[in-house]
Structure formats: structure tokens, C-alpha cells
Amino acid sequence: MLDRKPFTRRELVAIKTRMHEIVAAEDPITRDQVPVDQARALFEARGDDDKVRLLNFRNKPYLTIYTLRGVIDYFYGYMVPTTRYLPVFDVLPESGGSSCSTHGAKAPRFCSARLVAAVVRCVSPARGLDPPVGSRAYRQLEPGDRGWPAAGDCAVMEALHERQIAEIAARISRRHRDGLRLVLVAGPSSSGKTTFSKRLAIQLIAHGLKPYTLEMDRYFVARDQTPRDEKGEYDFEALEAVDLPLFNEQMLAITASQP
């Protein structure tokens, strides 16, 4: 199934129709606790090696599993008791495949998973290594294991990440010739924005550009002016934590400058 072509629209409609039938049937989703050894044997029998290796490090003697229409699996968190609770969902085509999302009782505006798909495409080259990356990572914790070093996986992922940064730098360089002056990097606190910006700057220098990285931290207002959240703690995620007049003034000056 992994090597087949993406589902056609007709196939997606058929899948969605069948899923509605399962919802209408109110099929039960049962929850059970089984001994870890029993769960390990189950996952071994169907070749689910990642789950088997995870269970090797489980401290509790049992595992909570769920069963739906004869399919048994482990999930992190609680499942609803029957399919009746999942009436609102959609199955839509995506670039290179399809996506399915459930929304409980109310369906929000659909948001494409293009970014998630891009991450999967970035990781997928490493999946060609044998055994899978996840299994190798767990094997490093097993005494006497002589498999692929965990550091090797990290090096591969770092190389894939650096390659993407280089591709981004190449696109920025091309657009710079058309007048691009400002590149913004978004993300929550401690998400790696500054580190990413510095790595991107190095790649831009390799393209003959002279980038200047500017951290958002430079625009925070004085501490006594920083807004607080409902717990009374400083809220650095709030827009009011930024000196907006200064930020706007300098960003406009940068974008108005000549290449």
C-alpha cells in the first residue's frame, strides 16, 4: 500500500462514504489493559517493530490498548467509546497523497497540511535506511547493541535540514535580485528562530549576500511595561510585549533601503 499511487477523487469519495457508514453503525471502541508481554507478542506478530522496542522500556506491567472492528492498537490518550462520536470529518486530496481529519461535533475551517507534508518529505529519505530511524534510536539503549549509531541518525537529519536551509537561501538570493529586503522567521519562544536565522545567514553569505540577523528580543519593552498573563507572569508572547512603534519604524526603513 505504501508504493501505490495517491487515491483518486472517486476513491476518496468511496472511503468517506464507508467511514460515514461506520459512524452510523456506532461501532464500539473498547479499552482494555493487557500484560506488556501479551502486547509485545501482538505487535511482534504484525511486524510493528517500533512499538515492540518502545515496550522494552515500559516500566508498568500492563499496557492500555483499544480495539475497533477487530483492529487492536495502542494510543497515547483516551479514545471515544464509539464511532458515533466522530460524525464530522473530511477526506481531502493533498499534494502527493490525501489527508483525513476529524473534528468532533463542529468542523472548523479546513487548513491544508502542506507544512506537515513538507516535514514528512524532509524526513522520508532517512526512512530508506534499514532498520527505520525510530527503531535504531531505541536500540542504542539496549545493552550490547551494535546497530547504526544514534549519532548517525542525527547526522543524517542535520544534513537534510541543512540542505533545506540551503534551498531556502537560494530562493532568497534569486528574489533579492528583484528587490527582496526582509525575511521574517516566525515561531514561539525557544523554537530555534535565532539559531535558524544564523544558519540561514551563513548560506546567504555563500550566495554573495551580506545578511544581518535581527532578533525580536531587541524590541521587547522595558520589564515594568511587559504585560502579564492570567497567572500574573510576564507574557512575552503578547504583541504588547514588543515596542511596536520602534519595530515598525525600523522595518519600514529596512524595506525602503536600496539593494
Q: Is residue 74 part of a domain?
A: no
Q: Is residue 123 part of a domain?
A: no
| Whether pTM exceeds 0.95 | no
Predicted confidence band of residue 61 (pLDDT cuts 50, 70, 90): very high
- The string of pLDDT tens digits covering residues 158-198 is 888 899 999 999 999 999 988 888 899 988 778 888 899 99
The answer on pLDDT for 143 being more than 60 is: no
The domain tally of the chain equals 1
**Residue 38 class from Cβ within 10 Å (0-12 exposed, 13-18 middle, 19+ buried)?**
exposed
Q: Is residue 246 part of a domain?
A: yes
Q: Is residue 228 part of a domain?
A: yes
What percent of the chain is predicted at pLDDT more than 70?
A: 75
- The string of pLDDT tens digits covering residues 95-108 is 656 666 655 555 55
Q: Which residues contact 101 (CB under 8 A, 6 or more apart)?
A: 89, 90, 110
| Average pLDDT over the chain, rounded to an integer | 81
Predicted confidence band of residue 227 (pLDDT cuts 50, 70, 90): very high
Give the integer Cα–Cα distance in Å for 83 and 13.
19
Three-state SS across 130-162? CCCHHHHHHHCCCCCCCCCCHHHHHHHHHHHHH
Q: Which domain holds residue 193?
A: 178-256
Residue 203's H or E segment, with its range, is: helix 193-206
Q: Is residue 167 part of a domain?
A: no
Q: Is residue 36 part of a domain?
A: no
Q: Is residue 116 part of a domain?
A: no
| The predicted structure's pLDDT at residue 75 | 85
Predicted confidence band of residue 114 (pLDDT cuts 50, 70, 90): low
> Does 132 or 192 have the greater pLDDT score?
192
Give the integer Cα–Cα distance in Å for 19 and 102.
11
Q: Is residue 223 part of a domain?
A: yes
